[in-house]
Amino acid sequence: MTATTLTGQNFTDQDFAALTDPLRGELTAHCYRMLGSLHDAEDQVQETYLRAWRAFSRFEGRSSVRTWMYQIATNTCLTALEQRSRRPMPTGLGAPESDPLGPLESRPEVPWLEPVPDALVTSPGADPAAVATTKDSVRLALVAALQFLTPLQRAVLILRDVLAFSAAETAQMLEISVASANSALQRARAGLARHPRTGDGACVDALDERCRGLLEQYMAAFERYDTRALVVLLKDDATWEMPPFTGWYRGAEQIAALIGTQCPAERPDDMKMLAVEANGQPACAMWMLGPDGVHRAFQLHVLDVVEAGDGRVGVAHVSAFFDTALFDAFGLPQVWPDDAERAAALPPGGHPLNPHTRA
């Protein structure tokens, strides 16, 4: 792109990058809230930057660059949503809780909600308060609740209540009247109220020392394959869901029964765990031992941790994702590092332990 005249100044590719690159993290968070998918969000951010680059010569500075980029990103996401259905979690399908001893139904063809790495939605050196706000606004439960809104309601609610744009700015971005924007916001808030979110308003910050300690105990319990230790860490009414399986489970004892009977682990050290940062929540990755003696990518767990009384905290909700393609997005290896040499020596082919891997 050659230099262009903009309100009396010459702008170049370097100017475009300097003005827009610092916005990439927050725009990724915005597209993720709109779409509920890490991969779709990254695609639409790329489309946003391409559209903005092409239109930069016509940007006349009537609004800030940030507002202009959000307008492009929002409308890019709205266009994408015309071809997509909502991304649910099992708890959002409307079915009652499942029997942990019953058969598991897998629906890998469903476009399930996905977690997002914190590193992709925050920018290095950003204001700590802004980082905290961003992390809070991409919590899985909130993004899951947004899926019940129409695309327009979703856009208006995010622009107004999350990003604090005015009604006039929101209307201008979406090319609708202020009255229409206010009406959509009212309907969106009512819709969100009909879908209360797990632990809403009581979730403990992932950086809280109690939360970190609980996550360490949670991972240690899995590595020991100690379901009784897990029961102690879970709230009595905790819930568990694990897309692409459609069932969901309520109660610490029920969850322990599910893990004890349906998990392929058999003994301590069959599972390896590592803490990660996802959706501003405590999270961890799991590698499962296979018949070939190699621990391979198996699940990503994202936890809701809430106050449990007397200064204690407990796990109120676990979202366990079986899509091992997410490991790549989180910068995680498909094979546990200590097993890499053994894995490299094995012949190619064979069936993975976890069949729920995106092609």
- The overall average pLDDT reported for the chain is 90
Helices (H), 24-107: 24-35, 38-55, 65-81
Query: 238-287 pLDDT, tens per residue?
Result: 999 999 999 999 999 999 999 999 999 999 999 999 999 999 999 999 99
The residue written with tokens 């029961």 in the block is: 231
Contact indicator for 67, 15 with CB cutoff of 8 Å: no
Query: What is the 3 state secondary structure string of 274-306?
Result: EEEEECCEEEEEEEEECCCCCEEEEEEEEEEEE
pLDDT in the model for residue 356: 67
Q: Which residues pair with 297 in a beta bridge?
A: 287
pLDDT in the model for residue 159: 97
Query: 22-43 pLDDT, tens per residue?
Result: 999 999 999 999 999 999 999 9
Secondary-structure percent of the chain, ordered helix, strand, coil, rounded to 5 = 45, 20, 35
Classified as helix, coil or strand, 135 is helix
Rounded CA gap, 2 and 11, in Å? Answer: 8
Q: Mean of the pLDDT values across residues 124-142?
A: 84
Its pTM stands at 0.91
**Of the listed ranges 140-154, 189-203, 238-252, 321-335, the one predicted with least confidence:** 189-203
Residue 358 has pLDDT above 80, yes or no: no
Q: Mean of the pLDDT values across residues 137-145?
A: 94
Q: Walk across the sheet containing 234-241 and list its strands.
A: 248-250, 234-241, 312-321, 295-309, 281-289, 271-278
pLDDT in the model for residue 2: 38
Backbone φ and ψ for 193, nearest 5 degrees, come out as -65, -25
pLDDT in the model for residue 200: 46
